[in-house]
Amino acid sequence: MNVLNFHLLSQLQYVEPALCGMLVYFLVRSKAARQFGFLIALLCVRLMCSFICIPLLYFSAHGIERHLAYQVYFYVYWASYALEAIFSLLVIYSIFKLAMAPLKGLQTLGMLVFRWVAAISVAVAIGVALTPHLSGIKFMVAMITQLQQTSSILTLCLLLFVCFAIRPMGLSYGSRIFGVSLGLGFLATINLVNSAWIAHYVSMYSLFSVINALAVGLTLLTWSAYFAFPEPKRRIIVLPTTSPFLRWNQISMALGDDPGYVAVGGIPPDLFAPAELEVMRRASAKMPTALESPSGMHSLSA
C-alpha cells in the first residue's frame, strides 16, 4: 500500500507547484492581484516550499544522507506551514473586508472584532503551548498546531457568514469572494479532520498524505476556475428599510464619531474676548428685568 502511495505522491508532488503557478497567473491576468494580495503571498510560500522540498525528496534516494535530508525537509515544511497559518489569517481578514465593502459601518465594526479575535487566538495558542515540559521545537509545534486550529475554526466561521449573508452583500455563488472562502473552508475542514487522524500514521507515504494531496489539488483547481473566468458583477444592494443589516450598519457608522463638546462650568473669564464679555454682561443685566416684570409683556402685546 505504501509503495502505491509512494508512486502516487511522487507524481502529485510536481502538480502542486504547477497548479500554484497557474493560479498566480490567473490572479494577475484577472487584475485581482491587488485585492487578493495575501492569497498570492500564501501561494508564493507554497511554491517556495515545493522548490526546496521536491529536490530534497529526490536526492534523499540519490545522494544526500536520508536522515539529514529528512531533518531539512521537516524544518522547511513546518516553517512554511507557520508562514501559511499567518497568511491564512490575513487572507480571511482581507476576504471579510472585501465582502463587507458596501456596508462600511458593519465592515469597520467587524474588522475591529476580527482583530480582537485574531489577537486572542494568538494569545491562546501561545498560552496552550506554554507548559513546563515543552521547549524548543516541541513548543513551536504545539503553538503552530493551536494557531492552525484556531485559524481553521475562524475560516469556517467566515465561510458560514459569507454563505448565509451572501445576498445582503450583493454577492453570488459565482463571486470570487465566495470561491476563495469555499476553498479556504474546505482546506480548513481537511486540516481539522487530519489533525484528529495524523497520530495513527508513522510514515510520510500513507493514505493520509494522498488524501491531503487530493484535497489541495481540488481546492487549487476550484480557485483557478474562479479566477480564470470573468466574475459576475456585484448586484445593487436593495435592503428593506426594516432590514437589521441596514439598521446595524447605520448604528455602526455612528460609532466612534468624534463628538462635539460643550463647556458647562469652571470657565475663567479671560478665555473670552472683551466684546463677548460685554455681550454676556448686557444679556445678564436684562434677564432679571424680563423675569421680574411679566406685566411688561402684557403691555407690549396689548
Partner 1 sequence: MKNIVRAFVVVLALTGAAATTLTPPASAQHKVTATRTSMLPVPVCAPDDPNACGMGLGGH
Which residues ranging from 241 to 300 are in contact with partner 1 (CB under 8 A)?
none
CB 172, min distance to partner 1, A: 10
Which residues ranging from 72 to 91 are in contact with partner 1 (CB under 8 A)?
73-75, 77-78, 80-81, 84
Closest to partner 1 by CB, 54 or 253: 54
Among 60, 94, 108, 222, contact with partner 1 (rule: CB under 8 A):
60
CA–CA separation, 56 and 72 (whole Å): 8
CB 141, min distance to partner 1, A: 6
Among 122, 163, 165, 253, contact with partner 1 (rule: CB under 8 A):
163
CB 63, min distance to partner 1, A: 10
Which residues ranging from 216 to 235 are in contact with partner 1 (CB under 8 A)?
216-217, 219
Closest to partner 1 by CB, 94 or 194: 194
Residue 62 C-alpha cell reads as: 540519490
Where does residue 185 rank: exposed (0-12), middle (13-18), buried (19+ CB within 10 A)? Answer: buried
Which residues ranging from 166 to 205 are in contact with partner 1 (CB under 8 A)?
173, 182, 185-196, 198-199, 201-205
Which residues ranging from 91 to 130 are in contact with partner 1 (CB under 8 A)?
128-129
Check: CB of residue 38 under 8 Å from CB of residue 87: yes
Q: Does 142 bind partner 1 (CB under 8 A)?
A: yes
Which residue from 239, 258, 233, 99 is spatially nearest to 166, judged by alpha carbons? 99
CA–CA separation, 175 and 226 (whole Å): 8
CB 212, min distance to partner 1, A: 5
The size of the chain, in residues, is 302
Which residues ranging from 30 to 49 are in contact with partner 1 (CB under 8 A)?
46, 49
Check: CB of residue 100 under 8 Å from CB of residue 169: yes
CA–CA separation, 90 and 7 (whole Å): 35
Size of residue set near partner 1 by CB under 8 A = 83
Which residue from 192, 177, 174, 188 is spatially nearest to 39, judged by alpha carbons? 177
